[in-house]
Structure 1
Amino acid sequence: MRVAIFASGNGSNFEVLAQAFQAKKIAGNLVLLFCDHPDAYVIERAKKYKIKTVSFTVKECGGKGLYEKKIAQLLEQENIDFIALAGYMRVIGPLILSKYEGKIVNIHPAYLPEYPGLHSIERALADGKQKTGVTIHYIDSGVDSGPIIAQEHVAILADDTLETLEQRVHACEHRMYPRVLAQILEKR
């Protein structure tokens, strides 16, 4: 199984997945990082693990439709079987969704259906919630609305700052994502 990871930023989830693939804790081969931000730190992380990286933007492609088409061509060229989103901050369009239905997972820093979309941790903290969480789900055409695979709660403590809560949510993500992705890929 040939796996691609899509990411947009820092890449801490990419790195824990790359480590798990290289340690053979996840079946298959991580063969590609696609990043929509050419200056994102995740690209440096991919170099460390010698993972092929391709990066281009919607603007460079001349619009979302052409961008999706270029990604679809890349996935076909690389014979990609499965995609894991790890901080990829764009909605996957219908062209890729139709080719990879049931073969794209995402990790989201909230206990869905609460707080889909951006700034989930910040919104949960601002709302005075006692807990938030992490969700791993298949993607569909909506925003963080696909079928849920696994979830874990993360407590919001009375003295939490955005930074301390983000650290605990990310620690939960880093523990969950390799385990859950390994379970998904073992069944394929």
Structure 2
Amino acid sequence: MANDIKLAVFASGNGTNFAAILDAIAVQQLPCQIVYLVVDKQDIGAINIANAHHIPVLFVDYKQAENREAAEAPIIEQLQAAGVQGVLMAGFMRLITNRLLEAFPQKIINIHPALLPSFPGIHGIKDAFDYGVKITGVTVHYVDEEMDSGKIIDQATVRLEADETLASLEEKIHDVEHHLYPTVLAQLLKDEVFN
């Protein structure tokens, strides 16, 4: 544990990818630990998961702050004080600032529920479904200052069946996410990306 890479997870929702990451760390004995969950909402499932695993939660109050940089400043300070070496975005529904990017250069990773560069933004699954694609998928990528535009690390495809519904597609996408993200994390740790 002492030599483990220290990571923070950022989430805005139920935390299913957060849970998948924690499961993978435990089962595969990945050489990392999640030392903080950062959230921008106070009533979300991800917080329950953090509490169950005794992981401290930091709340970013974007609404009360003067601007996004001001909102992120105390978070950056706390993460750096805790020795955090990288950030995993897991359904965090906000664009982050250059201030956060500079604090963790090329060490912030995101998962997106579509095959980027197609269908960026918060409705990736629905946008792909509505467009009528026959194949969509999941992308893990580095975060940069634009929305869902960072360098792609890995992708996995999901084929749409003739009778596919939005709900069934969402379920398939989430299943793939929960496999791909931990797989990519294991590879990034092996490649010493966060060191």
TM-score where L is the length of structure 2: 0.92
Q: Which residues in structure 2 correspond to 1:108-127 (within 5 Å)? A: 108-127=112-131
CA contact (8 A) 1:26 1:178 kept: no
Give the alignment's Cα RMSD to 1 decimal: 1.1
C-alpha displacement of 1:24: 4.5
Read off the aligned partner of 2:73 and give its amino acid letter. Answer: K
Aligned pair partner of 2:51 in 28, 36, 47: 47
2:13 is paired with a residue whose SS is coil
Q: Does 1:65 align with 2:69?
A: yes
Which residue of structure 1 aligns with residue 35 of structure 2? Answer: 31
Which residue of structure 2 aligns with residue 3 of structure 1? Answer: 7
Distance (Å, rounded) in 1 between the aligned partners of 2:92 and 2:190: 24
Which residue of structure 2 aligns with residue 99 of structure 1? Answer: 103
Distance (Å, rounded) in 1 between the aligned partners of 2:31 and 2:185: 9
Which residue of structure 1 aligns with residue 140 of structure 2? Answer: 136
Read off the aligned partner of 2:67 and give its amino acid letter. Answer: G
Unaligned runs of 5+ in 1: none
Report percent identity of matched pairs: 38
Q: Does 1:12 align with 2:13?
A: no
CA contact (8 A) 1:25 1:182 kept: no
1:4 is paired with a residue whose SS is strand
User: How far does the alpha carbon of each residue in 1:137-186 deviate from its partner, in whole angstroms, 9 at most, with x for none?
Assistant: 01111111111000011011121111100000000000111111011012
C-alpha displacement of 1:67: 0.5
User: How far does the alpha carbon of each residue in 1:98-133 deviate from its partner, in whole angstroms, 9 at most, with x for none?
Assistant: 121110100000001100111111011111110110
CA contact (8 A) 2:68 2:96 kept: no
Q: How many residues align?
A: 188
Greater mean deviation of Cα atoms: 71-80 or 136-145? 71-80
1:143 is paired with a residue whose SS is coil
Greater mean deviation of Cα atoms: 61-70 or 142-151? 61-70
2:83 is paired with a residue whose SS is coil
Distance (Å, rounded) in 1 between the aligned partners of 2:185 and 2:125: 22
Unaligned runs of 5+ in 2: none
TM-score where L is the length of structure 1: 0.96
Read off the aligned partner of 1:40 and give its amino acid letter. Answer: I
CA contact (8 A) 2:60 2:72 kept: no
Distance (Å, rounded) in 2 between the aligned partners of 1:161 and 1:49: 34
1:141 is paired with a residue whose SS is coil
2:111 is paired with a residue whose SS is strand
Aligned pair partner of 2:188 in 171, 184, 187: 184
Read off the aligned partner of 1:50 and give its amino acid letter. Answer: H
